[in-house]
Amino acid sequence: MLENFSLKETLTCFMVLFAVIDVVGSIPIFVNLKKRFGEIESEKTTLVAGGIMIAFLFIGDKMLKLIGVDVNSFAIAGAFVIFVIAIEMILGIEINKPGSVNSASIVPIAFPLIAGAGCLTTVLSLKSSYHNENIVLGIILNIIVVYFVLKSASWLERKLGENTLHVLQKVFGIVLLAISIKLFTINFAELIKVYFQF
């Protein structure tokens, strides 16, 4: 199963998804939801979020084929989505505003806060450049991190402080911006090869 395992690929997938999910930047949101709805079911939340991401990794491309879209084109669209998320993180603006919250745990934490549109787009974008085994391991590592953050959200907010969270958000935003450009250039080159028979 792990014949294509690569530590470098796994770490890259982990870092890309970590930046997109932005679990550190979401700590204040988790704390607020915990205050409003009581205890968050960390186990259920992380299992559902991980399940959504892994399922989309394996059936997302089949869904695309049904509507006549190739993986490279979707990856380029994903690169633009990641680019927008990075700009939001770096500039501290909110382009895509979430709807009103009526419940916690599964909705809105598992979806769309953790396994949201940006994350699912990123998962499929990664598939065009990395092996599935390494993407799955990257997802699992992120889910473990998310689980511990959910368990200790209030403590982390007190220890890290608002300024530290703000700086971390900017740093991961810049990393994400660079990754979006890389995804775009790789997949655009592949499309050029296909259309111009290079």
Residue 62 DSSP label: H
- Residue 25 in domain: no
35 inside domain: no
Task: Note the pLDDT of residue 49.
Answer: 95
- pLDDT below 70 — which residues of the chain? 1, 32, 36, 96-104, 112, 117, 198
Say how far apart CA 117 and CA 81 lie, in whole Å.
9
Helix (H, G, I), strand (E, B) or coil at 102: coil
Name the residue range of residue 183's domain: 45-94+102-190
Please check whether residue 30 lies inside any domain of the structure: no
Residue 69 included in any domain = yes
**Distance separating alpha carbons of residues 142 and 160, to the nearest angstrom:** 19
DSSP one-letter string for 138-163: HHHHHHHHHHHHHHTHHHHHHHHHHH
Domain contains 61: yes
Domain count for the chain, please give it: 1
pTM, two decimal places: 0.73
User: Is 55 contained in some domain?
Assistant: yes
In a domain, 16, yes or no: no
pLDDT tens by residue, 10-51: 999 999 999 888 887 778 778 767 776 777 889 999 999 999
- Domain-located, residue 5: no
